[in-house]
């Protein structure tokens, strides 16, 4: 459940805030989301990654379809990836990595925040 929640919240965050802030602010946002939701390491990694990757996938497909522009194809050729599909894939992988590492960091941070009470009881 938590996995789907973080994924969903990440998608929402990217779609709502990304247009107004640069990608690194979005990364901080995902980290905070991950702290709040509290997934375990690997789960957080994939939930954040899939969330941001999915959001970027959706946006690129939406823009390409709506505009009908040749630009993704041209950029794919210009950057040496060959096609628009390859470029979409690279955008998605990049989104995945940014989201995944942010969420992982958030998850590990929460572990420390949670541990504090443990230390008080000296266990």
Partner 1 sequence: MKYAGFLVSLVLTIALAIAVSRPFGAIPPLAPLLDPSHGFWQNSYSEDELAEDELELNNLNAEVRVVYDENLIPHIFADNQTDLYRAQGYITAKHRLWQMEFQTMAAAGRISEIVGPMALDLDRMTRRKGLAFGAEKGVEFIRENDPDSYQNLEAYADGVNQYIDQLSDAKLPVEYKILNYRPEHWTAFKSILLLKYMTDMLVGDRDLEYSNLRKILGDVMLDKLYPEFPTGVDPIIEAGHKWGFKPLDVTRPDSINYPDDQLVIEPLPQPEEGTGSNNWAVAGSKTKSGNPILANDPHLGLNLPSLWYSMQLTSPEHSVKGATLPGALGVISGFNENIAWGVTNATRDTRDWYKITFQDNSRKAYRYGDKWEQTSFRVEEIKVKGEELFLDTVVYTHYGPVVYDKTFKGTRQDVNFALKWNVHEGSNEQKTFLMLNTAKNHDDYNEALNNFTAPAQNFVFASKAGDIAMRIQGKFPLKWKGQGKFFMDGADPRMEWQGYIPNEQNASTLNPSRGFVSSANQHPTDSTYPYYVFDNSYEFYRNRRLNKRLSEMSEITVENMQELQFDDYYLHAAEALPIMLDLLGNEYGDDADAKKYVSLLKEWDFYADPNQKAPTVFYIWWRKTYGQIWKELSENVAPIVLPSYYQTVLFMKNEPDGAVFDLKNTAEMENAARHVKEGFKELLADMKSWEEKEGDFAWANYKKTSIQHLVPQFKAFSVENVYTGGGSGMLNATSGRHGASWRMVVDLGPEVKAFGIYPGGQSGNPGSKYYSNFINKWANGEYLNFDLRSLDQEEGVLFQTILN
Q: Which chain residues interact with partner 1 by CB under 8 A?
A: 18-19, 22-24, 27, 31, 56, 59-60, 63-64, 66-79, 87, 90-91, 94, 97-98, 101-102, 104-105, 108-109, 111-112, 115
* Residue whose CB is less far from partner 1, 3 or 101: 101
Least Å distance between CB 35 and partner 1?
11
Least Å distance between CB 115 and partner 1?
8
Tokens of 56: 């970027």
Can you tell me the distance from the alpha carbon of 33 to that of 3, in angstroms, rounded to the nearest whole number?
12
* Residue whose CB is less far from partner 1, 1 or 19: 19
Least Å distance between CB 4 and partner 1?
22
In sequence order, what are the residues at sequence separation of 6 or more whose Cβ sits closer than 8 angstroms to the Cβ of residue 3? 39, 43, 46, 47
CA 99 to chain centre: 3
Contact 51, 10 (CB under 8 A): yes
């Amino acid at each position: 459940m938590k996995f789907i929640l973080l994924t969903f919240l990440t998608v929402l965050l990217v779609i709502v805030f990304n247009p107004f802030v640069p990608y690194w602010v979005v990364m901080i946002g995902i980290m905070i989301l991950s702290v709040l939701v509290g997934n375990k390491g690997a789960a957080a990694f994939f939930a954040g990654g899939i969330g941001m990757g999915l959001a970027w996938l959706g946006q690129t497909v939406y823009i390409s379809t709506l505009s009908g522009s040749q630009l993704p194809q041209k950029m794919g050729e210009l950057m040496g990836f060959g096609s628009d599909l390859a470029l979409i894939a690279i955008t998605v992988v990049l989104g995945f990595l940014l989201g995944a590492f942010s969420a992982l960091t958030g998850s590990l941070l929460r572990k420390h925040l949670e541990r504090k009470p443990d230390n008080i009881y000296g266990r």
